[in-house]
Amino acid sequence: MKTSVYKSFIVSLLTVFLLSSVLPFRAEAEENALNIEADAAILVEAETGRILYQKNIDKVLGIASMTKMMTEYLLLEAVHEGRVKWDQEYTVSDYVYKISQNRNLSNVPLRKDGKYTVRELYEAMAIYSANAATVAIAEIVAGSEANFVKMMNEKAEELGLKDYKFVNATGLNNKDLQGLHPEGSGENDENVMSARAVAKLAYHLYHKFPEILETASIPKKVFREGTDDEIQMDNWNWMLPGLVYAYEGVDGIKTGYTEFAGYCFTGTAERDGIRFITVVMNAKTDGKPSYKARFEETRKLLDYGFSNYTLKELYPSGYQLKGKSTVPVEKGKEKFVSIQTKKPLSLVVKRGEEKNYKPVYVIEQKKLTAPVKKGQKVGYMTVKYEGENDYGYLTKEGEKAVRVDLVTAQKVEKANWFVLTMRAIGGLFSDLWNGVSGAVKDLF
């Protein structure tokens, strides 16, 4: 007996040891399966914001010029609200002029006495990552870069971002601003975010202002074409069509580099109705930071996404979940009405995993009162993923996109007074009978 107990104890101990050793290894193996050489990386399905791959996504790192996505967001918001106009002219400030003359930074030189439209400055920022043009936009929107930085941090909080800090509008290290960095920030400060926060910002930018891609996808453009100040602007996103690392479907969004942040890139690409958002931070080749690494690592993420995921109709229009597809109706000719999905439920899923998604009904109208119209909404159907590696969604709003309305399948007319009266009488006698039966049972 003692020997048996001893053996059971040893087996239990070994099981605990093996599980504690294997499970962390398995999780680490999943994270490194793509062999992404970057300090952090994330792959997101753009429509819902579902995370498909992650590596160190909550680690706070430098973001360099990926910062400009927030500057773009605030500018486009101001344009949409009518506070700024595209053809509005800007007179160059001393600060912006001084920064624009530094050709060691990404810049289009601006004349001290020059006037530039908001659209010109925006294109210089979005295509060429021009830093002085970015500061000019900050001054246009907020009066000063310092005020604009406050807006950046406030907007980040409003968008539900976590793990971030904005100290300037450009993504440069403050030391590059020649002592003119925004008030309240340190002379060597630099913007930081997590990969999750960067992806979330890109997600919001794309969904609220999809026109961002019209400019972000321009491979080359001449700034001030036809004037003495014209300069060729080559997009730093070399994955765009016609450029060095061209990748089918890529049309944005923003690269970044500083010595502190390393080589970074927030990319997006669409094929066959599926769009992905990617982020790589401090990308490397053979352990060393390199210019091409951010594109090579992004290619790995996009190859994985397009090769393994497909847009699939999981449940058709008119789908009914067995045993749960009726709702009671009061005062109707029928006591119940059938419910069904109003539209098909389609989702980007990993090939072969379709059966891992189970339908879930959420009934918001648990009882209806006649008359009931056909097609009347009673709730919604979503799906629950029961597979491995469920990393969740960037936002709650995105998760809500994985649902379709549940509606009544037919109409139910109101019953006439005679039927309603008979039901009431029947209900009364039923209650009396139940009361008598209960009393009799109590006696015995």
Specify whether 68 is catalytic: yes
348: which 2 tokens?
């980007």
308: which 2 tokens?
């393994």
Are 100 and 176 in contact, with CB atoms under 8 Å apart? Answer: no
What is the rounded CA–CA span in Å between residue 74 and residue 297? 29
Nearest in space to 169 (alpha carbons), one of 140, 207, 206, 203? 140
What is the rounded CA–CA span in Å between residue 181 and residue 385? 48
State the alpha helices, DSSP H only, in 129-250: 131-142, 145-158, 195-208, 212-216
User: Catalytic one among 68, 98, 300, 342?
Assistant: 68
What is the SS3 assignment for 398?
helix
Length of the chain: 444
What is the rounded CA–CA span in Å between residue 44 and residue 277? 5
Are 117 and 130 in contact, with CB atoms under 8 Å apart? Answer: no
User: Catalytic one among 55, 98, 100, 129?
Assistant: 129
Specify whether 129 is catalytic: yes
Give the N- to C-terminal CA distance of the chain in Å, as an integer: 51
Amino acid letter for position 211:
E
222: which 2 tokens?
């001449």
Are 411 and 368 in contact, with CB atoms under 8 Å apart? Answer: no
**Whole-angstrom Cα Rg for the chain:** 30
Amino acid letter for position 389:
N
The single-letter DSSP state of residue 113 is T
391: which 2 tokens?
């990393």
Q: Nearest 5°: phi and psi at 338?
A: -75, 150
Q: Which residue has the tokens 């709730």?
A: 379
User: Catalytic one among 65, 100, 185, 194?
Assistant: 65
Specify whether 65 is catalytic: yes
Are 26 and 32 in contact, with CB atoms under 8 Å apart? Answer: no
- Residues 21-36: b if buried by 16+ CB within 10 A, e if exposed: eeeeeeeeeebeebeb
Cβ neighbourhood burial of 391 (10 Å; 0-12, 13-18, 19+):
middle
What is the rounded CA–CA span in Å between residue 252 and residue 77? 19
Catalytic positions are 65, 68, 129
